[in-house]
Amino acid sequence: MRLEELNPPYEGIDAERISQWVPPDAEVEPLHTVRMYLKNHPLLAERMRPLAWFLLDPSISSLDVRARELAVARTCGRTNCESQWGVHQAVYGEVAEITPEQRLSTVKGSPEDDVWSERDRVILRAVDELIDTHGLSDEQWAALRGHLDEAQTLELLVLTGWYLLNCITTNVIQTPLEPFALRFPS
């Protein structure tokens, strides 16, 4: 890892900052990426936390968990970010009903693979086009809008950008894989 991270025991202000990211009864350490941000740029971590929690909280997010996790998995797969991909698949993969064949496709496949529904394909194509062109064609925009309302569409764009940012940071910092995370399928 190219930058240091906070390590236990967490005391004083570090304990307070950690508590903002992880419930007190959590059975795992805070993610390496979170601990890296808290050690090296706590103000940036503090500013990032509300958006991170918003995007992951099903009680306030406009996206259903499947749409969210397909976009996250594809973004992580396309950026070769096993760390972020593995955490999301371990925590949300089953809840989002992502099968082993679909996991493989998010990393090594295509939206055209037989494992996807039409809605899934539209989401995955949108993610691919966002990563490849940093925009969406009128055709892809219309396809996406055929499945998502205005809020969901906007949130999918932000979510993809957010995970692109996280994947780039995780890859550049060379963040280690979390012990509980899944590994890329082979």
What pLDDT digit, counting tens, does each position of 142-162 carry?
A: 999 999 999 999 999 999 999
What pLDDT digit, counting tens, does each position of 30-69 carry?
A: 999 999 999 999 999 999 999 999 999 999 999 999 999 9
Per-position b or e across 158-185, b if 16+ CB within 10 A of its CB: ebbebbbebbebbbebebeebeebbebb
CA distance 5 to 146: 43
The answer to whether the CB of 78 falls within 8 A of the CB of 111 is no
* Nearest alpha-carbon partner for 15 in 38, 48, 41: 38
What pLDDT digit, counting tens, does each position of 81-110 carry?
A: 999 999 999 999 999 999 999 999 999 999
pTM, 2 dp: 0.96
What pLDDT digit, counting tens, does each position of 116-134 carry?
A: 999 999 999 999 999 999 9
* Nearest alpha-carbon partner for 94 in 109, 73, 125, 122: 73
